[in-house]
Amino acid sequence: MQINCTKCGSKAIITSRKEMDPKLVQLYCACKNVEHCGHTFVMDLAFRHTLSPSSQDRHTIVLDMLQAMPAADRQALLRQVEGQG
């Protein structure tokens, strides 16, 4: 990930990070243009939204739905799935 200095626009490096929440991280940054700028700063990196769900999420959703079904319906569905394989 490339970070640009907010003062001079040069490339900056991430020197450390502090996790505030699983979806919010503070990035401690330092401008690589030390001679003419040398700015150090903190930026926030935040999760916004999902574009494509994780396969782990899909498995959880299916398992939750199966567990919520009445036992007879679940057994009927499993028989259908086994018959297709």
From CA 59, how far away is CA 65, in angstroms rounded?
A: 10
Interval 15-30: pLDDT, tens = 999 999 999 999 999 9
Rg (CA), the chain: 24
3-state class (DSSP) for residue 7: coil
From CA 4, how far away is CA 62, in angstroms rounded?
A: 42
* pTM for the full predicted model: 0.63
Interval 66-77: pLDDT, tens = 889 999 998 898
